[in-house]
Structure 1
Amino acid sequence: MATGGDQDVYGEDCAAEDQLVTPWTISVASGYTLLRDPHHNKGLAFTEKERDAHYLRGLLPPAIISQQQQEKKLMQNLRSYEVPLHRYMAMMELQERNERLFYKLLIDNVEELLPVVYTPTVGEACQKYGSIFRRPQGLYISLKEKGKILEVLKNWPEKNIQVIVVTDGERILGLGDLGCQGMGIPVGKLALYTALGGVRPSACLPITIDVGTNNESLLNNEFYIGLKQRRATGKEYADLLQEFMTAVKQNYGEKVLVQFEDFANHNAFELLSKYSTTHLVFNDDIQGTASVVLSGIVSSLKLIGGMLADHTFLFLGAGEAGTGIAELIALEMSKQTKIHLEETRKKIWLVDSKGLIVSHRKESLQHFKKPWAHEHEPCTTLIDAVKAIKPTVLIGTSGQGKTFTKEVVEAMASFNKKPLIMALSNPTSQAECTAEEAYNWSEGRAVFASGSPFDPVKYNNQLYIPGQANNAYIFPGLGLGLVMSGAIRMHDEMLLAASEALACQVTQEHYDKGMTFPPFSNIRTISANIAAKVAAKAYDLGLATRLPRPEDLVKFAESCMYSPNYRIYR
């Protein structure tokens, strides 16, 4: 059977590909097999003509229902579920049955469905992945595949892969080591690459690298789907990752984007620094979080006043997210003021489990914490650090809920007219404080943003809309920008470009409501603008391979985006 249609309408088929494919040359299944193929199944939307042409007579009830009607019915069904996990399972089942309808639903109802397919619900899904496991999604590469990883990649049916999201499941959100069950994260992230960034689903590949787990409850669970052994470390781990990265480049070429997701701190930093010079790699926990938070800070300046360099930052949490954000803030500050990076870092302070990171602790610190060890008296608690440093911006990346106490928020409000408080840990249960607490304890003066969504809060008859510093604002557009420019390496300047592009999307109307991020309902336009700025930077730095450079990068980004509308078959 052939798919028909106008090449221009389906521009995503040629998005960032070297060979243009005219849709009517693609042959797919017919009859019963067609109804079981999620890429081409339209359910009751097949027309009379299509039912005759493709042997579907009798295989479907007689009614013909449009994609819009299907969407309306499914949204009614989803809203009838009271348990978020049931909504998640219904969405995953839809993705396996009718891919275009899944993405249509997600794009048209992004604010409602984002928390279902991504944080916070995806966290619970990963915890229960073994018991809700129906049909495998993505590729599982375990220690058993050592020496055969290239063959395993060749087992994946799609050959033209542009984006890989890979995890080893050791640090899933704030939930810890979930081993093989971490697959929910790459699957969810790539759904967002398509829905929010327009990267074609067939160009996306979720991968879980299973090197075992140190989670006792999983090791003792008879239904656990992964390797039942303790985590491999050291040379065994490094060798498997080396083989994987080599095989990826060999199979998919120089331009495939590999996004590292939810690796433990020590591995995350090492993998990023090791492969950033040889591969196109990105770590969302370190770089994506940093980029979206920097954007939120830049746009918050309109509400709290001053330039970036006028502010003092205090972090609770000095892992990959905390140090990644701190470094990007220092870079942007350095870029704006022309002051050396080592100097701008001194405006930023970090608190870890042992207290404020200060210079006399330098010898015992992990390498990624050392740039943040400044001269100061020791402070063992967060409240002591807040009182001593008197920050204007307080950022939580600790993975520990309820750590921004009433005393901490009141202290921030005592020496700041408008304190900026960002409780970024996911899922919601791990947030350092809630939006309601931040507004109440600061008498409505705080500018607040979080990692997971919070509902608007009424305080003193005024409605406050909390910002959500969600990585989903950044990585889909960033990925599209890298893919459409044919970038071969990632650069920090691309992250700064993405941050600035996102901050520019916040309008005066949003500021009037206390918002520091634009609404998600506009995410595809936001992603196209981010992609254009990232691609422009790739061209400027000489890292782009798609030549000649398109004249209008925003228009080009929009033309590359996947459309979930049904095709006409003939």
Structure 2
Amino acid sequence: MMLLNRPKILRLLVGRRERGKEFIRASAVMGSALEEMPNDRVNGIDAVGGGVRDVYGEDSATEDQFITPWTFSVASGYTLLRNPRHNKGLAFTEKERDAHYLRGLLPPIVLSQEIQEKKFMHMLRQYQVPLQRYMAMMDLQEMNERLFYKLLIDHVEELLPVVYTPTVGEACQKYGSIFKRPQGIFISLKEKGKIQEVLKNWPERNIQVIVVTDGERILGLGDLGCQGMGIPVGKLSLYTALGGVRPSACLPITLDVGTNNEKLLNDEFYIGLRHKRATGQEYADFLFEFMSAVKQNYGERILIQFEDFANHNAFELLEKYRTTHLVFNDDIQGTASVVLAGLVASLKLLGGTLADHTFLFLGAGEAGTGIAELIALEMSKKTNAPVEEMRKKIWLVDSKGLVVRSRIESLQQFKKPWAHEHKPVKTLLEAVQAIKPTVLIGTSGVGRTFTQDVIEAMASFNKKPLILALSNPTSQSECTAEEAYTWSKGRAIFASGSPFDPVEHDGKVFVPGQANNAYIFPGFGLGLIMCGAIRVHDDMLLAASEALAAQVTDEHFAKGLIYPPFKDIRKISSHIAANVAAKAYELGLASRLPQPRDLVKYAESCMYSPMYRFYR
């Protein structure tokens, strides 16, 4: 008895006279097939465009339009129960247990996926320690992939803080102690000269998105070296759950070039190289070999997302490879896009246009300058004024004070465009009092820096001060939601990077928004993949921001929200993907032709479904 690996594998192109003809169902030809299929998935060609829809309900619309048929058998019995992609646990039917030699290997009860989901959530809620919940979810992902994603999709608002920020930060800190099995590829300096061979050790060949880190700047926690793997793993689980990219197309990678974290170097449980970080030419050569090997292995359209690289490398890598690879830096571009979306949406509450406002950043690193540049680009686009002119409405404060012209010689290159004429200012409070911004944005990675004096100063000259405390995890947030609402006397519009509970102030309940990158990157990635984009253009980021801002309704504004709730994230992601793909087609950067007529419906048809398959 043969159980097929993925419904994708079952797709047999029996005959095609011209584009647009139906694929013939493969179940009549092949011995082992799916027993039940949704009726709207029978046709191989997408009804709303020219792309392929998956005959069996698996997420094939993100794949090439024409696939050479092949088969792959998976052993039954005990081995099947140890295969997370196919294992259904107690949901295997009586018929399936007979057909696949599962009798006696499972208790006699048959449970539906819905009951399994209810049971696991009940168990998960018994844990009091967030890291225990994280580990339970990771164990489930390694045991039953579809149930893991069904839980994450159905309970996204509850589980997002478990599998990602803020719990993933603690998981990375303790990764050496909790590490059980590989969830991605670790490429260290030991593999220099043979990275392409190492990539081939990964069992999947049709990879569409890679999230890669070198672990030097994990969230606001600093250099965690090889233990930064928790970030790519977490990000890619969100690519699937929130953006619908199939799990088998996702590859987490950690580049281990050493660590400067003395605590880790002396930790007997540390799992990475025990020496200082490689720098300079050695680092550059290693990255070049990696980028070349990825492109050679997976092709021109492989999306490479840089994650948690230190500032001095992040900007350089993005600038170096953006013209030769499909690359995206979530810390620079994803953060910028999600913040811009919140700013565009907040205009309904603040009034005016973006160009009417003044922005002050605490933090002038990759996140802060990335956000600032995208705001300037959007203002330039809307006003037809030069970007250089729009930058003058944006001010940055770093560890030495306000970034001003008199400091230009000592500034890093990426800060220089933001050095405006002004007398030197040392503190954030003095900067707020001098600049009088309407929007205060924190990307400093330092907790409790938006003090009571700072918030009260913002409230003294703004009817509705917009306060964005974006640093992660929660301990590094510039202020809490309660502090922002209390110190502004309930007048602040607040959003943060990490989640905060609703706050009651003077009899009114405020629901803080979360400017989480998870709003943007899953849909953004899906949009790039489904149109076959070959490069990322800044206009695509603007398109993503506009799509997210458009999802904020009057009902959300009434609660003070500038972001829609995460429970609607798949719908949000489909709109973001459609906008991004449309912009790629407009710019001539899309390679999958012809363009589907309805990009939103096409994006929805691309999305991975976590529902169990029925096997014969």
TM (norm. structure 1) is 0.99
The answer to whether the 8 Å contact 1:161/1:256 transfers is yes
Q: Structure 2: how far apart are the matches of 1:165 and 1:370?
A: 29
1:423 alignment counterpart: 469
1:267 alignment counterpart: 313
Determine whether 1:228 maps to 2:274: yes
Pairing partner for 1:16 from 54, 63, 70: 63
- Post-superposition offset of 1:84: 0.3
- Post-superposition offset of 1:25: 4.8
Pairing partner for 2:555 from 509, 520, 528: 509
Determine whether 1:558 maps to 2:582: no
Matched to 2:516, the amino acid is: N
1:338 alignment counterpart: 384
- Post-superposition offset of 1:29: 2.1
1:250 alignment counterpart: 296
- Post-superposition offset of 1:14: 3.9
The answer to whether the 8 Å contact 2:91/2:111 transfers is yes
Q: Find the residue that maps to 2:210 and give its secondary structure.
A: strand
Q: Find the residue that maps to 1:416 and give its secondary structure.
A: coil
- Post-superposition offset of 1:10: 1.2
2:175 alignment counterpart: 129
The answer to whether the 8 Å contact 1:173/1:427 transfers is yes
Q: Structure 2: how far apart are the matches of 1:427 and 1:29?
A: 43
Change (3 A) 1:111 1:21: farther
The answer to whether the 8 Å contact 1:38/1:97 transfers is yes
The answer to whether the 8 Å contact 1:16/1:486 transfers is no
Q: Describe the superposition over 1:427-457 as per-residue Cα deviations: whole angstroms up to 9, x where unpaired.
A: 0000000000000000000000000000010
Pairing partner for 2:445 from 391, 394, 399: 399
The answer to whether the 8 Å contact 1:14/1:560 transfers is yes
Q: How many residues align?
A: 569
2:341 alignment counterpart: 295
Q: Find the residue that maps to 1:568 and give its secondary structure.
A: coil
Runs of 4+ in 1 over 6 A off after TM superposition: none
Q: Structure 1: how far apart are the matches of 2:157 and 2:507?
A: 25
Q: Structure 2: how far apart are the matches of 1:269 and 1:536?
A: 27
Compute the RMSD of aligned alpha carbons. Answer: 1.0
- Post-superposition offset of 1:467: 0.8
1:516-555 pair list within 5 angstroms: 516-555=562-601
2:539 alignment counterpart: 493
Q: Find the residue that maps to 2:440 and give its secondary structure.
A: strand
Change (3 A) 1:528 1:21: farther
Q: Describe the superposition over 1:235-271 as per-residue Cα deviations: whole angstroms up to 9, x where unpaired.
A: 0000000000000000000000000000000100000
- Post-superposition offset of 1:306: 1.1
Change (3 A) 1:11 1:61: closer
1:212 alignment counterpart: 258
Pairing partner for 2:480 from 417, 426, 434: 434
Pairing partner for 1:374 from 415, 420, 423: 420
The answer to whether the 8 Å contact 1:13/1:20 transfers is no
Pairing partner for 1:352 from 385, 393, 398: 398
Q: Find the residue that maps to 1:314 and give its secondary structure.
A: strand
2:13 alignment counterpart: none
- Post-superposition offset of 1:402: 0.5
2:218 alignment counterpart: 172
Q: Describe the superposition over 1:263-285 as per-residue Cα deviations: whole angstroms up to 9, x where unpaired.
A: 00010000000000000000000
- Post-superposition offset of 1:15: 2.2
Matched to 1:308, the amino acid is: L
Q: Describe the superposition over 1:162-201 as per-residue Cα deviations: whole angstroms up to 9, x where unpaired.
A: 0000000000000000000000000000000000000000
Matched to 1:179, the amino acid is: G
TM (norm. structure 2) is 0.91
Q: Structure 2: how far apart are the matches of 1:172 and 1:532?
A: 31
Q: Structure 2: how far apart are the matches of 1:166 and 1:19?
A: 29
How high is the sequence identity, in percent, across the aligned residues?
78
Q: Structure 2: how far apart are the matches of 1:253 and 1:157?
A: 17
Q: Describe the superposition over 1:58-86 as per-residue Cα deviations: whole angstroms up to 9, x where unpaired.
A: 11110000100000000000000000000
Q: Find the residue that maps to 1:559 and give its secondary structure.
A: helix
